[in-house]
Amino acid sequence: MLTSMRTRGFTLLELMLASTILIVAICGLLASYVLCFSLTETAKNMTLASNAIQFKLEEMRDHTFGDVSADYDNTTFTVSGFSAGQAIGAIAVESISTDLLRVTVSVCWRQGGNRIYGEDNGRGGGIALSGHIEGTEDLDADGIVDSPAMISTLMINRGT
């Protein structure tokens, strides 16, 4: 018994359709793989920034209340774990009353794709990652370098 040519295999159209579906599926998997790398880098950088902030706050605890404002207000610091020039920490100390300070420590950083996390991004003529607000970087006009990695706390003078 002879079989006809029509039932022996796949047509060219069927092969092209199957190839297209396979290519779309592989592209979707590759896109999610690349996104996972980006999320991993962001999580690593956020951890490094949070550790640097915590370290800086612990360092401030060793100073007297009167010295905190004088020694740390409007200062910057380097963040370990990042390449040179890829991250900067900023400290702002605001006197709320004679016995109360608001201390804000933040870290801005640059990662893959040259994206900068935080307000210190060079927007509006500022210098990116300088540790200070320049140009129109300060989106909420609070005078503080805001960042996803930022801690603001109150310090009280407990006396000597």
| CB < 8 Å & 24+ apart, contacts of 51-56 | 51/81, 52/77, 52/79, 52/80, 52/81, 52/87, 52/89, 52/107, 53/89, 53/105, 53/106, 53/107, 53/149, 53/150, 53/151, 54/151, 56/89, 56/91, 56/105
**Cα distance from N-terminal residue to C-terminal residue, the chain:** 106
Asked if the model's pLDDT at residue 123 lies above 90, the reply is: no
**Spatial contact of 127 and 99, defined as CB atoms under 8 Å apart:** no
Check residue 137 and give its pLDDT: 87
Residue with the bigger pLDDT between 108 and 126: it is: 108
Buried/exposed code over 35-70 (b: 16+ C-beta within 10 A; e: otherwise): eeeeeeebeebbebbeebbeebeeebeeeebeebbe
For tokens 């540790």, the residue is: 131
Asked if the model's pLDDT at residue 1 lies above 60, the reply is: no
pLDDT more than 90, % of the chain: 63
Query: pLDDT per residue over 6-46, tens digit each?
Result: 567 889 999 999 999 999 999 999 999 999 999 999 999 99
Asked if the model's pLDDT at residue 149 lies above 90, the reply is: yes
For the entire predicted model, the pTM comes to 0.79
pLDDT category at 3 given cuts 50, 70, 90 is: low
Asked if the model's pLDDT at residue 113 lies above 90, the reply is: no
